[in-house]
Structure 1
Amino acid sequence: MLLDFFVNINWCCHQNINFKKSANHQKLRLIEEEIIMKKIIKTVFLILLVGVLFISLAGCGAIGSEKSSGETNKQKPTIKIGYLPITHAVPLFIEKEQAKYKNFNLELVKFGSWPELVDALNTGHIDGASMLVTLAMKAKAQGIDLKAVALGHKDGNVLITAKDINSVKELKGKNFAIPHKFSTHNILLYKMLKQNGLKYEDVHPIELPPAEMPAALSEGRISGYVVAEPFGAVSVAIDKGKVLYQDNQIWDNSIDCTLVLRGEFIKKENKIAKKFVGYYIKSGKIAEQKDKQTFEMSSKYMKVKEDVLDLSFKWITYDNLAINKEDYEELAKNLIEMGLLENPPSFAEFVDHSLIKKTK
């Protein structure tokens, strides 16, 4: 094709040059042809050079695409875990901050309330959560495939009252805040009243976000509350409230927050789930040290002063985060007794110990 091109050009040159028989004109014609041919050769050379460069760049692009595609295929899965900024999620915070995991990425998703978190979990927008076990049990009873795989903590749910309240009986007719109707905190309120000769109806339970409770107590809108830390310690630290009871004085070994994962995630990414939970359990042991490092890592997720967190840590433990069957069944029994959940999921249906067997 290139040869034809030259032939055609040569023919055109012959047609456009005025042939003369004189020697001078013949010489002029040859010079003109030589100039034209040089221009043509130069043009063709440039065309060929551009073509070679284009092919080379295209090849490099293909290699780059292959490399990019290979890197994408090798990307680590990202586990999305929801949380509220409370001490019950400290093992989760430590796992994220230490980032010792190599098989996955961990993304912690902050929520402002339990209903928001539960909605995200139930609809599959997150893979799991550090959350109220009772809300997870309710979702499970409604057909959402959830599994509780570990505790978030032990204890750490204090019953706080205004400083002028000296006994449970003085709470009669008063407003008392809980974070959610379907919570261990609500059961603790129920048990505290029952153990002191009062009925649940003798007080006015009010649902409030945990972070609002210290201010509500300080302003006199409520006379007491029971909630996750550090919000109990906040009222004590600012001298606006006092501890009426520790949760273990009302109900020993109560289960509150647990680490919950979607069943679909456990099945699809079982090895990754085991790694994630394994690091979580180890992070709980680090949290139990309650040292400067624990405070620094936790404070990135909770806006709390060091003295408040120190007080909170005195009321909570993270040393053994396996879910005990007897404790779970006691919780289920209380939910039925209060009329909160007619048919709670059984321990076997809801609790998955397989992910922590090697890390206990």
Structure 2
Amino acid sequence: MTKILRTLIISLFITVVVFSLTACNSDNAQSNVNGKRTIKIGYLPITHAVPLYIEKELEKSQSRSFHLELIKFGSWPELMDALNTGRIDGASVLVELAMKAKEQGVDLKAVALGHRDGNVVVTSHDIHSVKDLKGKNFAIPHKFSTHNLLLYQMLKQEGFTYKDVNIVELPPAEMPAALSEGRVSGYAVAEPFGALSVAMNKGKVLFQSEELWKHSVCCALVLRNDFIRNEKKLAQEFVSEYVKAGKKAELKDDYTYEAASKYMNVNKDVLHLSLKWISFNDLKIDKNAYEELRQYMIETGLSKNPPAYREFVDNSLIDKVK
């Protein structure tokens, strides 16, 4: 009798565990609000994700087939972990991080740009040229970033290499303080953290990104391919609304500031300066620009075989936006 009872208890336990795991997996990223599928998109609170903020805010006055949930992360590794494991459907993310995940077997697709241009190299006031940075500390947010590649281009164009500066990886929000305190002599980072130093007169712009690398690709809107494949209509609607939000963001008016300020803790003057440097027009990922990015990743040793354009970029959704 005891043996039979023990067997029943074990069987019941296994059934509960299996059911729980199945429920967790099926609800990994999916949930519903008022009968609408919730699309979960990750972001860091930066200017480069403004189209997402506006798409979310416009939801209040529009009729859609989905509910958009924006999930804030404190770091790129945390965001990528959620994206790679399917806890979110997509993200606005440093494209190099997504490319590396794709190279490692995570089935991701880049469906749009986050922005165009809008990255600056900021230095202390005593730095007047690239040669003045030799032997100095220079901060980047992550080695898998366009900011790292902009540093590479800046050094290369002046006959220097990575070895000529001390590269420091810092969280973006820490960079303005690090520059002000003299812990670094310069940095390249997503906005608004470049504008913050300039607005406070703690630093200056040494280069705009387009001066170093025309048509550079930085942040991208990346979706899990299983979401695109299984819910094509919703993915299409989401991207269509994203592109429309990008066009509205390009107006850079009071609405843009009000929408962005709900997701970013930033002074209005700083955000206005940040928006002055950035564009949200034409968010389609260009093949030539992407191939140039691939080449730089190989040159710098970030990747031996970054994913080809046709493997990683999916323009099928943005091409259908009217």
TM-score, normalization by structure 1: 0.79
Question: 1:150–1:321: 8 Å Cα contact kept in structure 2?
Answer: yes
Whichever residue aligns with residue 300 of structure 1, its letter is K
User: Is residue 2:320 matched to residue 1:358?
Assistant: yes
CA distance in 1, matches of 2:50, 2:44: 10
What is the distance in 2 between the residues matched to 1:196 and 1:311?
28
Question: Which aligned pairs between 1:333-352 and structure 2 lie closer than 5 A?
Answer: 333-352=295-314
State which of 145, 149, 153 in structure 1 corresponds to 2:115.
153
Matches within 5 A, 1:177-196: 177-196=139-158
Q: How far apart in 2 are the matches of 1:337 and 1:142?
A: 19
- 1:73/1:245 CA distance change after superposition, 3 Å: closer
In structure 1, what residue type is equivalent to 2:233? K
Residue number among 37, 41, 44 corresponding to 1:81 in the alignment: 41
How high is the sequence identity, in percent, across the aligned residues? 67
Paired with 1:278 and 1:301, the residues of 2 have a C-alpha distance of 21
| Alignment correspondent of 1:118 | 80
Equivalent residue, structure 1, for 2:232: 270
- 1:51 maps to none
| Cα separation, partners in 2 of 1:160 and 1:215, compared to 1, 3 Å | same
Alignment-derived partner of residue 128 in structure 1: 90
CA distance in 1, matches of 2:244, 2:107: 26
Change (3 A) 1:197 1:73: closer
* 331-340 vs 93-102, which moves further: 93-102
Structure with more relative contact order (C-alpha pairs < 8 Å, separation 6 or more): 2
| Structure 1 segment 51-70 matched on structure 2, within 5 A | none
Query: Helix, strand or coil for the counterpart of 1:88?
Result: helix
Q: Which amino acid aligns with 2:211?
A: Q
1:306 offset after TM fit, Å?
0.7
- Aligned positions of 1:312-327 closer than 5 A: 312-327=274-289
Gaps of 5+ in 2: 1-31
Alignment match, 2:294:
332
Q: Separation in 1 of the partners of 2:63 and 2:210?
A: 34
1:88 and 1:229 in contact (8 A); partners too: yes
* 1:88-127 pair list within 5 angstroms: 88-99=48-59, 100-127=62-89
Paired position in structure 2 for 1:62: none
Instruction: Name the counterpart of 1:170.
Output: 132
Q: Distance in 2 between matches of 1:341 and 1:198?
A: 21
2: CA distance, partners of 1:275 / 1:226: 34
The AA in structure 1 aligned to 2:210 is N
How far apart are 1:101 and its partner, in Å? 4.7
Distance 1:281 1:228 in 2: 20
If you compute each CA radius of gyration, which structure gives the higher value, 1 or 2? 1
Q: Tell me the amino acid that sits aligned with residue 53 of structure 2.
A: F
- 8 Å Cα contact 2:217-2:290 kept in structure 1: yes
Partner residue of 1:311? 273
Residues 136 and 171 of structure 1: CA distance in aligned 2, closer, same or farther (over 3 Å): same
Is the contact made by 1:101 and 1:279 (CA closer than 8 Å) also made in structure 2? no
For structure 1, the residue ranges without an aligned partner over 5 or more in a row are: 1-71
> What's the counterpart of residue 190 of structure 2?
228
1:270-309 matches, within 5 Å, as 270-309=232-271
Deviation at 1:242, TM superposition (A): 0.2
Deviation at 1:198, TM superposition (A): 1.1
Residues 109 and 73 (structure 1 numbering): CA distance in 2 closer, same or farther, change over 3 Å? closer
- Alignment counterpart, residue 203 of structure 1, candidates 138, 147, 165: 165
